[in-house]
Every structure is written in structure tokens, then in C-alpha cells.
Amino acid sequence: MTILIRGGTVVSAAGASPMDVVIDGEKVAALVAPGSEVLGSLAESAERVIDATGRYVVPGGVDGHTHMEMPFGGTTASDTFETGSRAAAWGGTTTIVDFIVHRSGEPVLDGIAAWHDKADGNCAIDFGFHQILSGVDDDALKAMDELMREGVTSFKLFMGYPGVFFSDDGQILRTMQAAADSGALVMMHAENGIAIDVLVAQALARGQRAPGYHGTTRPWETEEEATHRAIMLARIAGAPLYIVHMSAKQAVATLARARDEGLNVFGETCPQYLYLSLEEHLFAPGFEGAKYVCSTPLRSRAEGHQDELWNYLRTNDLSVVSTDHCPFCMKEQKELGVDDFSRIPNGIGGVEHRMDLIYQGVVDGRISLARWVELCATTPARMFGLYPQKGAILAGADADVVVYDPAGTTTIGVDTHHMRLDYSAYEGTVVAGHVDTVISRGRVVVDDGAYLGSKSHGRFLRRGLSQYLL
């Protein structure tokens, strides 16, 4: 199908300009200056013309951190690839990169087949995989090369969750050394899980069982210490490092210092850490706080973490906003921890709302329009070896395009969202901006409030190396 998007303002990581976009089949064919003579004939031959007057035309969002159907915490994340990718599309995200699970002692290569079984033919938008490696051993190190050949070029390690996903410092160092040789990207869950387990046991012994104690038993020091240690190990190995879901301002300050010293290290944060807090959400009355149990935890607003994270996004000390989409329903899932916060499955669902919540940062004067696109599409595409196929509207790129109405508004809530989740972490929040039209590889999947996508549309993306490698 040929589509002409006319009259809009195309926004890239470099800025915004009035431009018409021509889509031919699955690809962007051309960007044309308005008023150009070629437009007349294009407008006549296009099978569909979308009037984007007064709208922004932006690259489809790239969410580099999701957990569809993740078995975790005694249950399984509630969104399947089908339901979660549909919700992502509704929110203007056209690519996800999901994590293949591996647990200590299991054969690593069993995971990729299981993830293809879940995702292939069930995903409304294009998707790639990262690989989790737990308790790294020789089998895991060998598997890394095989996975790289399959287009899985990034590997997540955990300094938290002892006995489940945890790797010790020697295992982390060996993985980083292998990554330094192969060009793989190591992603780190930076929390000192050994110390956290002591604090959790002590809190429970004191009778502190409510969800809020999930936050107080994971103090900022446990994130900052692990962040520092991970950076030092990466420095020894000479490997790049990407730290996921950063929430503590002190940890990001440590990352920023390392970047200033020239180390090739990067940080990601998520909307929940920019909007939600320990006091208002995790310590909400009764069991309400369970909705907000995730790791790293929400941080104190009184201590100013949220404002500092926005600043770090503006200054590029934080490079990417992902969602860490890992939804668990209150009923029968979060409820597993009704008497004991340490049994509440860790995770928040948000794949649908990232573009809108970060656009609100533009409206609030925290980041520029171009930075919105850079944080939500262009940098994640580059970071995970998908650019320029994804992350930008360029001739020859995949036609993943969102027509975004800056004058519209979006009301977030369980009655209107499309995620398979029986609550919303942002219930009642009204944000500026509205996703009008979403195009995934040349197919209109969301059109003015109607869903036109299909679960068989999304294709697996064999990713290249991170484009931030030196």
C-alpha cells in the first residue's frame, strides 16, 4: 500500500520540520518538502492520504525492555505477546525487545526456542530478544556466541535475586570479558541482592510486612553500590555496559561521573520512576502499594529522585526510557504477597503509556521535543542494533510511524487501557498528547480509535551489534 502523510511536522532526534512522508509497502520511500512539485502526483497515486495538519509525525516507539509472559515470582506476567504487543501499538510503540528467561543451572539455549514459541505469529509489532543469563557458567559463555548469530546481541545479568537470577562478581567479570571480545552488550540489573535479602529478613522479623517495606529494604545505597561495582567490573573487562531501570539519583550520579571519565556506560530509566514515589504509591494504605512493587523500587519524592531523573534525561546522563513492562494483576498475582511484601511479584505494566508519559515531559518543559523522540525511539534503536531500520523516519527505513496530536489528551485508566491488567499504576492520570494513527511496517494498525492490527503481523528482528560500541 502507498500512504502519503501530509501537512504534519516530522520530528526526529535532530529536530522538527514540516515535511510530508511517503510510504511504499513496508518502507518509507521519501520525505518531501511541502509544496514540492512531486507531491501533486504522489497525492494522486497514493492509496491512502492521512491529513496530519497540526500533528507531529514521529518514528514508532522502540521499547527496549519488556517481559511478556515472564514466569517470575511464582506466577507469570499477565500480558502475552498478543495482548502486550497490541497494547504497545495502541500507545505508539512499534518495536519491543523482550527478555528470554534463563535460570541458574538450566541449559541457556532452551530459552530462545521457548520465546519464539510464545512470540512468533502472536505479536502485532516487530520484536527482538535479549537473553537473561543467570549464574553464568561455561555453558552460558558458549551460548552467547550462538545467540549472537541468531541476532540476540545483548545479555542481562543480575546482581540481585540471589538463588534465582543472581550472578556473582566473578561470573559477571567473565561475561563482560566475553562481551568485550564479541561486541555483545551487557545489561545490568544493579542491586546488591545479598544485602537486600538480609534487610528483607530483618524487616519481616520486625513484623514489617506491608508493600511499602519492599522500598525501605532496597535503599538507594544498594542500587548505587551495585552500579559502582558493575561499572568497575566493566572497566576492568573493557566492555560497554547498559544499566537497566535506574531509579536512585545517587546511582545515576555515579553513572554520570563514569561517563564524564569517558567510560562507555549507559543508563535507562522508566516512567514509573519519573512519576510514582515511595511515599505516595508504595506506602499507599492497606495492600494498595502492591500495585507499585517493582525492582529497582520507586524512590522517595521528598528526596527528589524523580526531578533529578528528568534532569539526567535532559543532560543525556540517562540515555533511554523503556518500560520494564512486567504486569501482574492484583487478583491472584500481587495477592500472593498479601501477608508478606517479599512474596509480591515484582513488576509494573506500562508498555502502552511510555510515549504519552514522556511527551508530558515536553509539555512540562523538562525535555525538548527532539529529545522525546531520541529517548523513546532513536537511541534505543541504536543501542540495540536496530537503527536505521527502526527509530527514525528516513528513506529506506521500516515504515513505523506515529501521527501524534499535541493538542489532544490521554486519560489513563483500567477501563480504557488495552493491557491485560486489572489495575493501572497511573489510574486517572490525564496527560497531554494523543496517539492518533500508528503504522507498523507500512500497515495502519491504529487509526483514530480503531484497532486494525493483527497478531501475525510482527516479525522477529535479528539485531546487529549496539551502535554505541567504540
The nearest distance, CB 215 to Zn ion, in angstroms, is 16
d(CA 432, CA 359): 7
d(CA 101, CA 132): 5
In the complex with ligand DUC, the residue whose CB is nearer, 252 or 392, is: 252
Q: Site for ligand DUC (CB under 6 A): which residue of 87, 294, 362, 386? A: 294
The nearest distance, CB 223 to ligand DUC, in angstroms, is 12
Residue 294 interaction partner, one of ligand DUC, Zn ion, none, beta carbon < 5-8 Å per kind? ligand DUC
Which are the contacts of 434, defined by CB distance < 8 A and separation ≥ 6?
A: 356, 404, 405, 408, 409, 410
Q: Which of residues 89-128 bind ligand DUC (CB under 6 A)?
A: none
In the complex with ligand DUC, the residue whose CB is nearer, 164 or 180, is: 164
Using CB under 6 A as the binding criterion, the count of chain residues that bind ligand DUC stands at 9
Phi and psi, residue 70, nearest 5°? -80, 125
State yes or no: residue 347 binds ligand DUC (CB under 6 A). Answer: yes
The nearest distance, CB 294 to ligand DUC, in angstroms, is 3
Ranked by CB distance to ligand DUC, the top (closest) residue is: 294
The nearest distance, CB 280 to ligand DUC, in angstroms, is 18
In the complex with Zn ion, the residue whose CB is nearer, 189 or 390, is: 189
Q: Site for ligand DUC (CB under 6 A): which residue of 227, 300, 346, 378? A: 346
Which are the contacts of 100, defined by CB distance < 8 A and separation ≥ 6?
A: 111, 112, 114, 115, 129, 130, 131, 132, 152
State yes or no: residue 247 binds ligand DUC (CB under 6 A). Answer: no
Q: Which window, 68-76, 115-123, 321-329, 416-424, contacts Zn ion (CB under 5 A)?
A: 321-329
The nearest distance, CB 293 to ligand DUC, in angstroms, is 8
State yes or no: residue 290 binds ligand DUC (CB under 6 A). Answer: no
d(CA 192, CA 466): 27
The nearest distance, CB 127 to Zn ion, in angstroms, is 15
In terms of Cα–Cα distance, which of 156, 98, 91 is closest to 126?
98
Q: Which window, 48-56, 181-189, 222-230, 266-274, contacts Zn ion (CB under 5 A)?
A: 181-189
State yes or no: residue 390 binds ligand DUC (CB under 6 A). Answer: no
State yes or no: residue 324 binds Zn ion (CB under 5 A). Answer: yes
Listed as own residue / partner, the contacts of 74-78 with beta carbons closer than 8 Å and 24 or more positions apart are 74/336, 74/343, 74/345, 75/328, 75/332, 75/333, 75/336, 75/345, 77/326, 77/327, 77/328, 77/347, 78/327, 78/328, 78/329, 78/333, 78/349, 78/419, 78/420, 78/421
Using CB under 5 A as the binding criterion, the count of chain residues that bind Zn ion stands at 2
Which are the contacts of 214, defined by CB distance < 8 A and separation ≥ 6?
A: 282, 289, 293, 295, 297, 341, 342, 344
* Burial class, 417, CB count within 10 angstroms (exposed 0-12 / middle 13-18 / buried 19+): buried
Tell me which residue has cell 534503536.
381
In the complex with ligand DUC, the residue whose CB is nearer, 73 or 453, is: 73
State yes or no: residue 189 binds Zn ion (CB under 5 A). Answer: yes
State yes or no: residue 189 binds ligand DUC (CB under 6 A). Answer: yes
Q: Which window, 75-83, 105-113, 162-170, 184-192, contacts Zn ion (CB under 5 A)?
A: 184-192
Q: Which window, 188-196, 200-208, 307-315, 359-367, contacts Zn ion (CB under 5 A)?
A: 188-196
The nearest distance, CB 188 to Zn ion, in angstroms, is 9
370 in Cβ contact with 396 (< 8 Å): no
The nearest distance, CB 368 to ligand DUC, in angstroms, is 29
Q: Site for ligand DUC (CB under 6 A): which residue of 234, 265, 270, 326? A: 326
State yes or no: residue 67 binds ligand DUC (CB under 6 A). Answer: yes
In the complex with Zn ion, the residue whose CB is nearer, 31 or 164, is: 164
Residues binding ligand DUC (CB under 6 A)? 67, 72, 189, 294-295, 324, 326, 346-347
